[in-house]
């Protein structure tokens, strides 16, 4: 088959979706070398994807153009010119004028625009309501990254179950057990932070519910139990000005909470491994890769019990309501104070991660594309 792939997420400074797509794409030729793989983008494609394995169609002259507009105006042309058998939209936007005989596959990560529209920016909300839902209606198959997302597709959009294929993310081999103290000291030197810290990872936006952690830190500080800072790694998203106001009003210092900005993927395994505990209070996720990455590095995880955390994390994490400051604070105190709890969570986390292997994910993807 000739498989065309929307490669726009494979840019520099990849975040969750970009890492998910890259991890799948990288292994495709190894598990199915009989197919041809064509990557389409209007910006440079980054990562270990050699020209000898992938045909890259990069129209850098359109780098100024919004990616969605570029794909809508150019994607159909590529599909016709390259005589594709399959077009895989990795970001739930389906170009018009793709020939009828081309299998059209769309990945849907979550339905945040339906469940929590108030957490989105106006443009992003419009794109999802208009373009993502149109792509979902018009494609032949839908890839969902969790059963929870598949359930949302059926509940909100009436998608028939036989159109949905489950493709879980796989955890990259770099995320593995390391010496905790050594990893923490390396992060300390690289970022100028204390070597004993709590960690959080994610785009700084309302859906990640980081304001809960601000209130949790305030409570711990007030009770004399805030004995290490929280370090937050992630790019700035939308609607985050109120969060930064809350931090300023909280009385917390940079020695107690610190935003590190975007963290390169090569630093993340050490960041996870060096943390005393990993916090993930998100209101809603399609899957939630960071907690699993932290578990793979041997770090205890405290997360919200929002969808689909129980599906992904099972009993390997402490799951608390995403609005309960007291319960998050108590869970943090318990994990930091009790070595036996940390050891038990470390063992359970490592075992849980074994269910999410990259090779299994790629085989699920190949099933969806054929």
Q: What is the rounded distance in angstroms from the CA atom of residue 242 to the CA atom of residue 240?
A: 5
pLDDT digits (tens, 9 = 90+) for 269-287: 999 999 999 999 999 999 9
Q: What is the rounded distance in angstroms from the CA atom of residue 187 to the CA atom of residue 269?
A: 10
8 Å CB contact between 353 and 295:
yes
Quote the pTM value.
0.91
- Domains defined for the chain, CATH in brackets: 2-167 (3.40.50.2000), 180-353 (3.40.50.2000)
- Please, what's the largest Cα pairwise distance for the chain? 66
Terminal CA-to-CA distance of the chain, rounded, Å?
8
Predicted local confidence at residue 332, as pLDDT: 98
pLDDT digits (tens, 9 = 90+) for 158-174: 999 999 999 999 998 88
Can you list the residues of the chain whose pLDDT is less than 50?
A: none
Other CB atoms closer than 10 Å to residue 58's CB: what's the count? 15
Q: What is the rounded distance in angstroms from the CA atom of residue 238 to the CA atom of residue 252?
A: 23
Question: In residues, how long is the chain?
Answer: 370
Q: Which of 75, 83, 88 is nearest to 101 (CA)?
A: 83
> Token pair for residue 212?
């809960």
Residue 65, judged by CB atoms within 10 A of its CB (0-12, 13-18, 19+), counts as: middle
Dihedrals φ, ψ of 160, to 5°?
-70, 140
8 Å CB contact between 227 and 259:
no
Predicted local confidence at residue 12, as pLDDT: 67
Predicted local confidence at residue 172, as pLDDT: 84
**Residue with the two structure tokens 């969060």:** 243
E strand or H helix that includes residue 230: strand 230-233
Predicted local confidence at residue 13, as pLDDT: 66
């Amino acid at each position: 088959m000739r498989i065309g792939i929307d490669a726009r997420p494979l840019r520099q400074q990849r975040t969750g979706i970009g890492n998910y797509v890259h991890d799948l794409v990288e292994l495709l030729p190894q598990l199915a070398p009989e197919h041809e793989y064509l990557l389409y983008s209007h910006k440079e494609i980054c990562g270990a994807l050699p020209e000898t394995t992938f045909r890259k169609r990069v129209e850098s002259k359109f780098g100024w153009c919004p990616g969605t507009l570029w794909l809508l105006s150019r994607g159909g042309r590529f599909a016709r010119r390259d005589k594709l058998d399959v077009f895989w939209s990795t970001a739930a936007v389906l170009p018009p004028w793709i020939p009828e005989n081309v299998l059209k596959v769309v990945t849907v990560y979550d339905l945040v625009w339906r469940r929590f529209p108030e957490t989105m920016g106006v443009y992003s909300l419009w794109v999802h309501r208009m373009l993502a839902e149109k792509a979902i209606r018009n494609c032949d198959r839908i890839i969902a990254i969790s059963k929870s997302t598949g359930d949302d597709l059926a509940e909100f959009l009436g998608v028939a179950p036989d159109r949905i294929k489950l493709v879980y993310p796989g955890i990259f081999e770099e995320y593995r057990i390391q010496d905790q103290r050594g990893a923490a000291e390396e992060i300390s030197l690289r970022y100028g932070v204390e070597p004993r810290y709590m960690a959080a990872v994610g785009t700084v936006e309302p859906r990640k519910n980081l304001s809960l952690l601000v209130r949790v830190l305030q409570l711990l500080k007030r009770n004399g139990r805030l004995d290490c800072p929280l370090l937050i790694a992630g790019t700035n998203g939308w609607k985050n000005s109120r969060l930064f106001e809350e931090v300023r009003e909280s009385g917390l210092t940079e020695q107690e909470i610190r935003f590190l900005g975007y963290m390169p993927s090569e630093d993340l395994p050490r960041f996870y491994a060096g943390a005393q505990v990993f916090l993930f209070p998100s209101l809603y996720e399609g899957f939630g890769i960071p907690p699993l990455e932290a578990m793979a590095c041997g770090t205890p995880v405290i997360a919200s019990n929002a969808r689909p955390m129980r599906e992904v994390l099972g009993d390997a994490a402490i799951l608390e309501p995403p609005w309960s400051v007291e319960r998050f604070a108590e869970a943090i105190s318990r994990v930091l104070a009790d070595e036996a709890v940390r050891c038990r969570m470390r063992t359970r986390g490592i075992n849980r991660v074994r269910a999410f292997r990259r090779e299994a994910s790629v085989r699920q993807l190949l099933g969806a594309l054929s």
